[in-house]
Every structure is written in C-alpha cells, then in structure tokens.
C-alpha cells in the first residue's frame, strides 16, 4: 500500500490483509498495532498501520504465536528457529504432495504421446479432487435412516446444530464409519488431573511436545487448564487418523478458544483431519473460515446434514449463524443435553 493510499476501516483493512476483523482487534489488544482514530472515534488504518498489520499476519501464517510475533518485531530471536523449523516441515509435506501430482502429469503425458487418452477419473484425481466418497452410511436416530455421503475431509470440519438436532449421534456415527477415526468425548473433562499429567509424562517426548504447545497457546492468551491439556494430549497423538472432538470449547474460556483455533488453523492443508463439534463463535468464526475448512450443519428439522458455505446468503448460512454463540453465552448452557425419548436411549 502506497503512502498516498487512503485510510481503511477495520473491515476494509481485514479484507485487504486476508484476516478477520477479530484478528485485527486481537493484534491491537496485544499492543502489536495501534490504529489511528477519526474525529468521531472510529478506528482507521493508514499505510504504517497496514504495513505493521501485514507483517503480523504473515508471521502468524508461518505459525508464530503472538508472543513470538512481538519478539520478532522487537528483534528478539527467541523461539524463531523453532517456528521456522515447523514451517519448513509443512512446506516439505506440501512439496511432496506437489511432486506426486507432477509425477502423475508426466505419466499422463507419456501415455498421451503413445496414443492413450487419460480417463476422466484420472484427470479428476490429478486436480486433487476426490472422486470416490470417503464414507457413505445410513444416518442414525433422530433421522429416519437416510443415506449420507461424505466425499472429502479437510483439515478442519465443524459439526454444528441446535440442541436436539442429533449432531452428537452424527459425530459418533462418523467415528464408527471413517477408517481409523476416533471420538474424544466429554469424559475428558472428568479425568483426574494427577492421572492426566501421569499419562502425559509417561513418554518424555510426548510431554515435551504437550508442554511446548501449551506454552505456545499460553503466549497467545490461553489459560492452561486440565481441559486444555486433555485436548493437547489428544491432538499430539499420532492415532487416530481422524480425530472427532465433542464440543471442543467445553472447559475453555474465550481467550483459550481463540488461541486454540488459531493454532489448529496453522497446521496446513496436509494436516490430520479434525472434526470439531461446536456452538461457539470463537471456535467457528464465520469471518475467518478458510479453504481448508468445512461446515456441516445438522438442521433443527432433522433434514440430513449438509455442507454450508461460509458467506452470507449461502444455503444454511443463517441457520449456522443462529446456532453460534459467544463463549460467555455458551458457558451458561454448558452441560445441557437435549431431551431424548426412552426408546431412543434404549437403542443406544
């Protein structure tokens, strides 16, 4: 942005930088950027503020915590090597996938030169789009056995719906039918702190990774608690291949939720798929949903779950937005379970 550029509102600045307005507010709260104010008191971003906010957004994309960003901006190298090493690992994974696709292109070119036309299926795979569904199954109660087909799993998939919509049954069914999937339920909140810590410390390498992630999140504003440590330990484990987490926000305050989802978004397109049940607007920030994320809505009328695009006007968008609430509001309804008829309980 040139020095002659006009000053931007927070929404305009966020759109220009490719971040959410909530992210800009977080940068301001941490003292990393200081927008100017208009005569009416509105925040505005000029060339200098945009340059600084752009640096912060770029460093966040590299996987830096806000504390690490602050140290880099003040020329303190602490933690820089670790963050760069993590980014290098992500780049190598993406490069490996690209090399595989390049190999397929070369094979097709050779076959085409020999007179063999590639099939539509092969071309679709070359584009990285799934052809065969990952899973196809009949929906459990409270649905009527309709068939649901899941064609792809991105690094982050959100399952959302109002109380009584069946989202927990849907999530558990996904855990049953997806190859190598596992379900992390709310029982994680009842685990004794001593037992949780003992489990983590049983393997020194695991304990070191859990402590490192806890520190990263803490630097980003999170409060380290037993609920957070239970999540970190599950996220650190190499198994299962797909992890489905029941109401990921339970036991976490607003700042912790924001720090956690920011970390999960930085894992890259090749990361292990996570399926997150949520009704928190801090976890599912509709302004921040990226290309590696999917929203699955379980409607109140028990129509089959459907994928919803994260932009106003899209089918199901308003229903998703209505289901979401701030962490403060969510805390008031924590632990509330929708009523189930006895026959449904007996069938579980």
The per-residue pLDDT string of the chain (348 residues; one tens digit each, 9 = 90 and over) reads 544 468 899 999 998 998 888 889 989 998 999 999 999 999 999 999 999 999 999 888 877 888 888 888 887 766 667 667 777 776 787 787 788 778 888 888 888 888 888 777 677 666 655 557 889 999 999 999 999 999 889 999 999 999 999 999 999 999 999 999 999 999 999 988 888 888 888 888 888 889 988 988 998 889 999 999 999 999 998 888 999 999 999 999 999 999 999 999 888 777 899 999 999 999 999 988 988 999 999 999 999 999 999 999 999 999 999 999 988 877 666 655 555 554 454 444
Q: What pLDDT is recorded for position 333? A: 60
What sections of the chain are H helices per DSSP?
10-17, 21-29, 47-61, 66-73, 80-113, 120-126, 167-177, 193-201, 204-219, 226-236, 254-265, 317-323, 327-332, 342-347
Q: Which residue has the tokens 């960003």?
A: 69
Q: What pLDDT is recorded for position 341? A: 52
Give me the DSSP letters along 268-318. -TTSPPEEEE--BTTTS-TTT--TTEEEEE--TT-PPPEEE-SSTTSTTHH
Q: What is the spatial distance between Cα 213 and Cα 184, in angstroms, rounded to a whole number?
A: 19
The partner residues of 325 in beta bridges, in order of sequence, read 280
**From its phi and psi, is residue 313 left (phi > 0), alpha (psi between -120 and 50) or beta?**
left
Q: What is the spatial distance between Cα 147 and Cα 77, in angstroms, rounded to a whole number?
A: 54
Give me the DSSP letters along 215-245. HHHHHTTPPP-HHHHHHHHHHHS---SEEEE
Q: Please, are residues 44 and 63 in contact by the beta-carbon 8 Å criterion?
A: no
Q: Please, are residues 232 and 226 in contact by the beta-carbon 8 Å criterion?
A: no
**Residue 39: CB atoms within 10 Å:** 5
Q: What is the spatial distance between Cα 332 and Cα 19, in angstroms, rounded to a whole number?
A: 29
- Of 226, 174, 223, 170, the C-alpha closest to 195 is 226
Question: DSSP character for 23?
Answer: H
- Of 97, 88, 26, 82, the C-alpha closest to 57 is 26
**Residue 295: CB atoms within 10 Å:** 21
Query: Hey, what are 195's tokens?
Result: 């037992």
The partner residues of 109 in beta bridges, in order of sequence, read none
The partner residues of 37 in beta bridges, in order of sequence, read 43
Question: DSSP character for 77?
Answer: -
Sequence-separated (6 or more) residues with CB below 8 Å from residue 338: 163, 164, 165
Q: What is the spatial distance between Cα 63 and Cα 60, in angstroms, rounded to a whole number?
A: 5
Q: What is the spatial distance between Cα 327 and Cα 334, in angstroms, rounded to a whole number?
A: 10
DSSP H or E segment with residue 135: strand 135-138
Question: Nearest-5° angle of CA 309, CA 314, CA 317?
Answer: 75
Question: DSSP character for 187?
Answer: G
Q: Please, are residues 213 and 251 in contact by the beta-carbon 8 Å criterion?
A: no
Q: What is the spatial distance between Cα 49 and Cα 35, in angstroms, rounded to a whole number?
A: 6
């Amino acid at each position: 942005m040139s020095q002659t550029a006009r000053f931007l509102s927070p929404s305009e600045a966020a759109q220009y930088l490719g971040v959410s307005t909530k992210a800009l507010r977080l940068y301001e709260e941490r003292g990393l950027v200081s927008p100017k104010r208009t005569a009416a008191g509105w925040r505005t971003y000029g060339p200098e503020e945009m340059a600084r906010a752009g640096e912060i957004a770029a460093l966040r994309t590299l996987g830096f915590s806000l504390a690490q960003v602050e140290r880099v901006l003040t020329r303190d190298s602490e933690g820089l090597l670790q963050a760069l090493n993590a980014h290098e690992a992500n780049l190598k994974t993406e490069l490996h996938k690209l090399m595989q696709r390049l190999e397929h292109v070369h094979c097709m070119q050779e076959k085409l030169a020999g007179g063999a036309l590639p099939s539509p299926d092969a071309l679709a795979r070359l584009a990285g789009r799934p052809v065969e569904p990952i899973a196809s199954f009949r929906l459990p109660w409270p649905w009527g056995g309709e068939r649901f087909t899941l064609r792809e799993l991105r690094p982050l998939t959100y399952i959302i719906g109002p109380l009584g919509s069946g989202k927990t049954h849907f999530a558990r069914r996904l855990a049953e039918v997806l190859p190598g999937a596992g379900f992390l339920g709310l029982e994680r909140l009842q685990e004794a702190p001593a037992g949780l810590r003992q489990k983590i410390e049983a393997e020194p390498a695991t304990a070191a990774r859990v402590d490192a992630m806890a520190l990263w999140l803490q630097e980003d504003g999170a409060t380290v608690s037993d609920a957070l440590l239970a999540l970190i330990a599950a996220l650190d484990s190499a198994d299962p291949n797909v992890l489905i987490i029941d109401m990921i926000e339970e036991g976490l305050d607003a700042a912790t939720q924001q720090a956690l989802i920011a970390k999960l978004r930085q894992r890259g397109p090749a990361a292990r798929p996570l399926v997150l049940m949520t009704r928190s607007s801090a976890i599912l920030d509709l302004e921040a949903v990226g290309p590696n994320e999917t929203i699955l809505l379980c409607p109140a009328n028990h129509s089959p779950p459907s994928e919803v695009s994260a932009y106003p006007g899209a089918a199901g968008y308003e229903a998703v937005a209505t289901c979401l609430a701030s962490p403060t509001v969510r805390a008031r309804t924590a632990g509330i379970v929708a009523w189930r008829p006895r026959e449904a309980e007996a069938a579980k």
